[in-house]
């Protein structure tokens, strides 16, 4: 189940997420602002007010890594559909910074998807294309030879969880390199490309709309994510024309998500083994069949404009 951790009135996805600060050039993962606070609270599926139309640069905008998104579906028994992944052979079509950055995110989402659902045959192809694009984007040390050797060993052994963990480490390395070298625009396009591809794959895992399908529920739950991504992009929209264009391309998807209605639910409080209070339930966004079909069409159009 998706978790949202609330600290200092700011919403953040699970503890394993990357924290993207919208403040200036420094984008270190956020730390607990109150070290003396004895009890954290984790809130599952609480009501989220979609009122972030003006983006506050003092807020931290957070999004899940592709691995986080797909593992949540793997854990509920979903099966992957691999014919929708972007063809690695298309890498030669991406000749400018914007297309390379967006498709680095796309291919990394594909790698995470293939890893999460144990798609062995093409894993090495996606590892290679991510490696090649990291060179094209001058993202040093994102995937060194030792890391590639580890991935190949785990592919041979069939240890899927280890492959997913390593791919997440690769994502963090790319993030850290771009952060340390003040390349926030490239970082934002990678994040946007990865999320767009993730949403594209999610919508294509649904053969027929069913409001109770866990995948449909996960798609509706991306409402907060799209707002966080828009806030994250906004920090560079005025200084980077490519980021501004990506933000404009996402505006229709954001508008659709903001039109979702909420379903009532009950809230229960428990304390987990780590001493954290967990609140389950509350209101959650619900996507109708008409909205789902429109979203699927919009995401497909945007994704295909990126991948070509």
Q: Which of 6-15, 19-28, 65-74, 203-212 has the highest mean pLDDT?
A: 203-212
Question: Phi and psi for 188 in degrees, rounded to 5?
Answer: -65, -35
Provide mean pLDDT across the span 248-261: 98
Strand pairing class (41-44; 277-281): parallel
Provide mean pLDDT across the span 66-85: 79
Supply the mean pLDDT for the chain.
77
Three-class secondary structure of residue 299 per DSSP: helix
259 C-beta neighbours (distance < 10 Å), count: 13
pLDDT tens for 261-304 read 999 765 666 776 667 665 555 789 999 999 999 999 999 999 99
The side-by-side arrangement of strands in the sheet containing 41-44 is 10-13, 4-7, 41-44, 277-281, 267-271
Domain assignments of the chain as residue spans, ordered by start: 65-260+287-307
114 C-beta neighbours (distance < 10 Å), count: 24
pLDDT tens for 9-62 read 233 332 233 333 333 344 444 444 444 343 344 444 433 344 434 555 555 666
In a 10 Å sphere around its CB, with 0-12 CB exposed, 13-18 middle and 19+ buried, how is residue 116 labelled?
buried
Contact partners, residue 94, CB within 8 Å, separation at least 6: 100, 103, 133, 136, 308
Dist CA 185 CA 244 (whole Å): 10
pLDDT at 189: 97
pLDDT at 280: 59
Closest CA to 117 of 66, 176, 193: 66
Dist CA 126 CA 109 (whole Å): 10
pLDDT tens for 175-205 read 888 878 889 999 999 999 999 999 999 999 9
Tell whether the model's pLDDT for residue 85 goes beyond 70.
yes
pLDDT at 305: 98
pLDDT at 141: 56
Strand pairing class (10-13; 284-286): unpaired
Tell whether the model's pLDDT for residue 258 goes beyond 60.
yes
What the block records as the tokens of 21 is: 């600060």
């Amino acid at each position: 189940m998706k978790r949202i951790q609330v600290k200092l009135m700011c919403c953040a996805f699970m503890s394993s997420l990357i924290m993207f600060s919208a403040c200036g050039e420094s984008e270190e993962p956020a730390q607990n602002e109150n070290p003396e606070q004895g009890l954290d609270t984790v809130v599952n599926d609480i009501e989220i007010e979609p009122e972030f139309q003006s983006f506050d640069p003092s807020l931290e905008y957070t999004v899940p890594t592709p691995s986080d998104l797909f593992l949540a579906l793997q854990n509920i028994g979903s099966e992957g559909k691999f014919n929708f992944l972007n063809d690695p052979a298309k890498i030669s079509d991406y000749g400018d910074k914007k297309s390379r950055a967006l498709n680095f995110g796309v291919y990394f989402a594909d790698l995470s998807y293939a890893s999460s659902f144990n798609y062995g045959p093409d894993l090495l192809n996606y590892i290679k294309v991510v490696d090649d694009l990291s060179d094209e984007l001058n993202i040093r040390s994102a995937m060194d030879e030792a890391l590639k050797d580890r991935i190949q060993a785990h592919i041979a052994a069939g240890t899927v969880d280890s492959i997913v963990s390593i791919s997440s480490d690769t994502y963090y390395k790319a993030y850290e390199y771009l952060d340390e070298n003040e390349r926030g625009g490239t970082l934002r396009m990678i994040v946007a490309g990865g999320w767009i591809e993730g949403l594209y794959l999610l919508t294509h895992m649904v053969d027929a709309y069913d409001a109770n399908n866990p995948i449909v529920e996960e798609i509706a739950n991306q409402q907060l994510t799209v707002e966080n991504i828009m806030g994250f992009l906004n920090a560079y929209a005025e200084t980077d024309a490519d980021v501004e264009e990506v933000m404009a391309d996402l505006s229709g998807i954001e508008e659709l998500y903001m039109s979702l209605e909420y379903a009532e639910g009950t809230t229960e409080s428990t304390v987990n083994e780590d001493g954290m209070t967990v609140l389950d339930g509350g209101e959650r966004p619900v996507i109708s069949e008409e909205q789902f079909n429109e979203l699927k069409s919009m995401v497909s159009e945007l994704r295909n404009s990126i991948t070509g």
